[in-house]
Amino acid sequence: MLSRPNPARTEREQYDVYSAYLFRVSGPGTALPVRCTADPRYIGRLGVATIQRYFVSDQSTPAALQSSTFTQLVRAKTVGSGTPISMFNSFLFRNLSAEELTPKFSAGNSQVLVLARTQPDLSATSQPALWAKFTNVGFNRDFSWAMFYADVSCKGVNGGEYVYMRKAFHHGRYWYIDRIEPK
């Protein structure tokens, strides 16, 4: 029996993954879900990012069109990183073209998220702010693994990273960062 993709579930899970990456604290020993750790204003107690304003591109980035991304994924797939191959395949397939993002993120009460077409001037903000541009999220067949690529900028600190997430099924169902691989 073949399973058919459920577009509504895929969209819901994608925004849950993005929100977990931006707004939730990682598990012990895991890097912060933002590349803003070089600036001490971004780090509060217990290593929690103190970012209040998030600017996110309103378009996903088609990663499959970036030849370096494709090459790195093929290499990672063949090395056997312990992640499901179906997730890599989904990631490649879902990133053949850009997709419009909508304000379906789950931000905390004190956090502001703004969708923007272009990257704003973060040096003009008085509070720590973050800019992010995401690829579409690739999932394995049962939606227990996810991966995407994020270009992130925090007041002049720029970087890209592959984000691998897993879904926890105990104490509710939520996404957490399994690992982050800088580009």
**Domains in the chain: boundaries:** 7-182
* Phi, psi of 29, deg, nearest 5: 80, 5
Q: Which of 96, 98, 88, 89 is closest to 65 using CA atoms? A: 96
Q: How many helices (H) and strands (E) does the chain have?
A: 3, 7
Kindly state the average pLDDT of the residues 132-155: 91
Reported as a single tens digit per residue, the pLDDT across 3-51 is 567 899 999 999 999 999 887 755 444 444 455 655 555 555 555 556 7
Reported as a single tens digit per residue, the pLDDT across 41-77 is 555 555 555 677 889 999 998 865 555 666 666 566 5
Average pLDDT of the chain is 78
Give 180's pLDDT tier (boundaries 50, 70, 90): confident
